[in-house]
Amino acid sequence: MESNLYTPNWIADFFHGFPHINFSFQNANSTFDPSSQSYRESLAFLVALPVLLCVILLLFTSCCLCVHCIKKRPQKAAKTCCLQASIFIFIILSLGALGVSFYGNETANKGVQCVVDALDDTDETLNDAFTTLDNLDKLADNITNRGVRTVNNVFNQYLVNVTIRDSILKLTEQIRGESEKARQDIASIKNNTPNVKLQSISAETVTIEFYRWTGTVVMLCFVIFMFIIAFVGVCKKSKCLLISAVSLGFFCLILIWASAGIYFGAAVAGGDLCVNPEHFLEHMTDNKVRNDIIKSYIECNPQTGGQTQFSESIKKAFSSVTLANGTLNTIVNMSLPFHIEALVSPVAYLRLELNYAFDNITNLNELLQCRRTHDNFMKSVNGICKTSMTGISLILLMLLVIGVCLTMSQCLLPRFWLLSSKRKGYRPVDDTDPFCPRPPPYNGYGTISGTAPSTSRNLEGSVFMMSLNDETYPMRGPLTDSPPPAYRPRNFTDEYNDFSRPTSMGSES
């Protein structure tokens, strides 16, 4: 026959196999126990591993950025096709991994929702059972103290035959005794099942899942925004977009690896829980419900038809109510020959209360059977250990892929920026053009010197000699025939005007 128990899958076994080391570097117990400090330290140690890797990668990418910043630009424009293609490949891989991460996030949320639904249904079942137990206790009190007492008063008042009256009163006392037995059976069920509330656990689970889902979506959207900026920057070769992508990339690296650490710790904790969920449930209800009762609901042997340890008490309560109802029928039959009209109302009330008790015991039997509770247990375990663990594993794997691709992109983007950024230079110009402005020094430009020149001139000839920085250059025609000078600062213009006066041209220096 097929087993009705839960068996862990390979994902739970894989994460459960990671070593659990506390802050004292000693092996901790791998059994899921959030109340243990040593176990919490072992999870924190595992969470810190991706964070440590993040620090190493940040140092690596920072070194890459520094190397590209101090490296000289090539004189000629370099081809960046291969570099551009490599960046595109890493961006496309990261975007694909981000899509899978969104799917994993929804899968994990779906599993948690199954757990919440199972908790709510189980809490509703328990509340209905507790309400039914309270109703049965009230019905037993009404039957014993009100119904039977009223019937006895009627017989004592209207029945003259002492023998028949004593026989009927014994029967009414039997109804009282059966009601007391039913009450004791109900009390035993209440004592073994205290008022356990699962609503607070469900509400806390919903709150935690909301923050987890929202935080993951915001983080993934931010990473997508960064990759879009990098993609557009590479396509347009925009220096501003590339700088923005590199700056945001460092922040994204911190987010990704910190999230990877959190999900890694959650996956290991989930693996520890899913290897033996029965142990955690028994530990959680240790001081509330007996372990043998919890085990009977977890296992729920189908051969017993869903019977539990409460079935015997419920059967006794059924038997007591049935006997009380049969005794009431006997009392009515014995009193018919006496035509006691005052007996009609209390007998009808007593019969109604016994019928209500019978219906409530029937309902309690359905509520306390293990099938419904066991189905909710299996639904919650499969939701967290199969659906949610699959989603968490996908998110963790994709975060590792995105972290590696982003690290490579952070190293390649500064190089692409260095090779593809626009270079400022001078256009080729005619050095002999006198109208082209030139930065100082002005020596050697045209026929004008930057210092006070000395000239020798033959008044009758047309050949002049000008000394420029201890060099002599021949000049054709008079100095006034020289082309007009380009724009010069104020001090140079004053010197030129002093040099070109007619009085100084007529004398030899």
pLDDT of residue 477: 46
pLDDT at 170: 83
Q: Which residue has the tokens 């109510």?
A: 321
What amino acid occupies position 55? V
Which residues of the chain are under the pLDDT cut of 70?
A: 1-5, 64-65, 67-80, 160, 193-196, 286-288, 302-307, 418-509
Q: Which two tokens stand for residue 399?
A: 């975060």
Counted residue by residue, the chain has a size of 509
CA 178 remoteness from chain centre: 57
Structural domain spans, the chain: 10-70+79-420, 432-509
- DSSP annotation of 143 reads I
The Cα 125–Cα 94 span in angstroms is 46
> Of the candidates 342, 364, 328, which has an alpha carbon nearest to the alpha carbon of residue 130?
364
- pLDDT, residue 305, reads 57
Tell me what pLDDT residue 153 has: 84
Reference 348, options 361, 322, 362, 329; nearest CA is 329
Of the candidates 224, 230, 223, the one whose C-alpha atom is nearest the C-alpha of residue 88 is 230
Strand 454-457 to strand 463-467: parallel, antiparallel, or no bridges (unpaired)? antiparallel
The whole-number pLDDT of residue 70 equals 63
The pLDDT of residue 140: 84
Q: Is the pTM of this model over 0.75?
A: no
pLDDT at residue 369, rounded to an integer: 82
145 Rama class: left (phi>0) / alpha (psi -120 to 50) / beta: alpha
pLDDT for res 269: 92
